[in-house]
Structure 1
Amino acid sequence: MSDAHRRPATDRPYLVFSDVDETLITVKSMFDFLRYQLVRRYGAAGEGRYERIMAAVRRRTGDGTARADINRFYYGHYTDESVETIDRLAAGWFAERTAAGRGFYIESTREALAAHRAGGATVVLVSGSFPPLLEPIAREVGAEAVLCTRPLIADGRYTGEVETPVIGAGKGVAVLRKLTSRPDVDPCDCWAYGDHVSDLPMLELVGHPVAVGEDEELRKRLAERAEGVTA
C-alpha cells in the first residue's frame, strides 16, 4: 500500500470505511472464531463439527450460492446459543489472536487507518461478521462505528436469524446510509478499503477506493473506474 493511501486528502471532515476480514485482519473472523469456540468447548468433536460446517460452506460456494445466503447459513449455527457465552468466548478468541507475534492485523491497513484518524477522519468498520468479534477490533484501531451483520436475539439467546447481512450489496446499503447521515461530508473526499470484488458496492460510493491484497478482478474494476473518472 503506497504512502498516497495513508495521507489525508482534504482538510474537510471525511469518513474512512474499512472491510475487516483479510483487509484489516489476516483471518476470516467468523470462521476462525467458529473453529476456536467449537474446539474450545468440545475438543475433537468440535473440530469435526467445524469441518462439516466448512464442507457445507464450500459446497454452497461451489454451487454459486449468494454470499449473503452463506452469511445467513453461518449464523444459523448459533441458534439458541447464549449471548453471554458467545461474548465470553469471543473475548478469549480476541485475546489469543492478538497475543504478541500472532500477526493478526494487516499492518499496512492498520497504519493507513491510523494516519486517517490523525488527519481528522472518522473510521468505520464494515463487515459481514458480528459485534462480539468486531467491537474489540474497532476499539483497538479507533473506529467510531461498526456496520455489520447483527444476529437477532431473544431472551438472551441468538435466534439463528439475522438482520440484513452486510455482505456485497448489503455493504453498499450500509455505507450509503452512513454517508446520508453525514450531510457535512462529501463522498468524494471519503476513502474505503476492501480486499474482494464483493466489496465494490462499498468502494464505488467513495472518491478514494483502495484495493488491499491481490484480487485481480477487484483491481481491474477499480482501475476501469479510475480511467472513467479521469477520461
Structure 2
Amino acid sequence: MNRTRVAFFDVDGTLTTAPSMFRLLAYYLAAMGHPPRAYQERMRELKAMAALGCSREATNRAYFTHLAGVDAGVLTRVAQEWYAAELATGGFYHEPAVAELRRHRERGDHVVLVSGSFPAPLRPIAADLGVDEVWCTEPEIVRGRHTGELAGPPMIGRAKADAVMNVLLRLGATRADCVAYGDHISDLPLLEAAGSAVVVGGDRRLRTSARIHGWPLLPGTPPAPEPPLPPSRTGAGVSSPTPFCHPAHPFHPSARYEMPESA
C-alpha cells in the first residue's frame, strides 16, 4: 500500500524573500491613495510593540486591526495585482526552497503551506505553486468587510505544530512520512512536529537547533527587491481581475499569521 508523504512549508522567508502580508499592505494602501507615511506609521507601531516585549501573538493581532472596515473583495482583487507586480520584480521567490517544493510535488507528496500570513496574499501563491492545502491566519470578515479581529488564533509557534498533527491525522500519515521547512525560531514547533526538517537560512537559535537535530540547511533568502507600488487611486478605480477560484486548494476554516523577525 502506498504511504502518504507530506511536506510542510512556511512561506515568508522560506519560499518568498519578502513578508507577503506587509508587502500587500504597502501595495494596498498605495492603491487606495494613501501616502507612503501611512504604511510607515503602521509598521512603526508594530515594531514599537515588539521592542516593548509584546508577544508575537499580540503584534500579529495588531496587524489586522489596521484592516478594520476594509472591503474583503477589494483587498482580494488588489492582492491579485500585487502578486503580479511582485513576480515582475524577478526576486519574489526563494528558488532553493521552491525547488524543494517542486521536487515534493513531482514525487506525489501532499504539499501544505503553514503560514502566519492570511488568505488574500496566500491564494495566488498557493495557486502558482500548486500546493494541496494551506493553513494560515483567518481574519474575521462580517458582511464582506474585515472587522479587525481574527476568526481564530494566529498561526504562530505551537499552532503550526497543531496544524501538522491535524493534517497527518486526517490523511492517515505518520511523522516518519513528513518533512517541514522553516526559517525562523518561531517555526521550531513546526519543524519538531515533523519526522524530519530542513532549516532555510535561519537565525542563530534555529541553526543551533538544526545542528542538535541533524537537520540539513538551505541557503537563506537574498535581499528582497524593492516593493512594487501601484499608482495612487481610489477604491472605485481598482480593476477587477478574474476572481481566484481554486477548490482543489482549500483554506482550512481554523487557518492562522506571523510577524517577520525584523518586526
Q: Give the deviation of 1:225 after TM superposition.
A: 2.7
Please give the residue correspondences for 1:86-125 in structure 2 after superposition, counting only pairs within 5 Å: 86-99=75-88, 101-125=89-113
For residues 220 and 206 of structure 1, what CA distance do their matches in structure 2 show? 18
- Residue in structure 1 matched with residue 236 of structure 2 by the alignment: none
Q: Count matched residues.
A: 213
Q: Which runs of 5+ in 2 are unaligned?
A: 216-263
1:147 paired to 2:135:
yes
- Residue in structure 2 matched with residue 217 of structure 1 by the alignment: 205
Residue from 39, 44, 49 that aligns with 1:50: 39
Residue from 26, 31, 35 that aligns with 1:35: 26
For residues 210 and 97 of structure 1, what CA distance do their matches in structure 2 show? 26
Q: Give the deviation of 1:222 after TM superposition.
A: 2.4
Q: Give the deviation of 1:118 after TM superposition.
A: 0.9
Return the structure number with greater relative CO, CA threshold 8 A, min gap 6.
Answer: 2
- Residue in structure 2 matched with residue 7 of structure 1 by the alignment: none
- Larger mean CA deviation between 11-20 and 110-119 belongs to 11-20
- Residue in structure 1 matched with residue 190 of structure 2 by the alignment: 202
Residue from 188, 193, 198 that aligns with 2:181: 193
For residues 52 and 201 of structure 2, what CA distance do their matches in structure 1 show? 25
For residues 91 and 213 of structure 2, what CA distance do their matches in structure 1 show? 33
* Alignment deviations for residues 105-156 of structure 1 (CA, whole Å, 9 cap, x no partner): 0001111011111111011001111111111111111111000000011111
- Residue in structure 2 matched with residue 179 of structure 1 by the alignment: 168
Q: Give the deviation of 1:12 after TM superposition.
A: 2.8
For residues 162 and 202 of structure 2, what CA distance do their matches in structure 1 show? 25
- Residue in structure 2 matched with residue 77 of structure 1 by the alignment: 66
Is the contact made by 2:180 and 2:194 (CA closer than 8 Å) also made in structure 1?
A: yes
Q: Which runs of 5+ in 1 are unaligned?
A: 1-10
Q: Give the deviation of 1:43 after TM superposition.
A: 4.2
For residues 123 and 137 of structure 2, what CA distance do their matches in structure 1 show? 12
What's the secondary structure of 1:72's corresponding residue?
Answer: helix
- Larger mean CA deviation between 166-175 and 14-23 belongs to 166-175
- Larger mean CA deviation between 148-157 and 56-65 belongs to 56-65
Following TM superposition, the consecutive aligned residue runs of length 4 or more in structure 1 with deviations greater than 6 angstroms are none
* Alignment deviations for residues 46-96 of structure 1 (CA, whole Å, 9 cap, x no partner): x11111111111111111211111111001111111111101111110010
Residue from 96, 120, 125 that aligns with 1:132: 120
- Residue in structure 1 matched with residue 256 of structure 2 by the alignment: none
For residues 67 and 198 of structure 1, what CA distance do their matches in structure 2 show? 9
The letter of the residue matching 2:178 is C
For residues 192 and 56 of structure 1, what CA distance do their matches in structure 2 show? 32
Higher helix share: 1
Q: Given the two structures, how large is their TM-score scaled by the length of structure 2? A: 0.78
Q: Give the deviation of 1:221 after TM superposition.
A: 1.1
For residues 115 and 154 of structure 2, what CA distance do their matches in structure 1 show? 9
What's the secondary structure of 2:85's corresponding residue?
Answer: helix
- CA RMSD after TM alignment: 1.4
Is the contact made by 1:67 and 1:168 (CA closer than 8 Å) also made in structure 2?
A: no
Residue from 144, 149, 155 that aligns with 1:166: 155
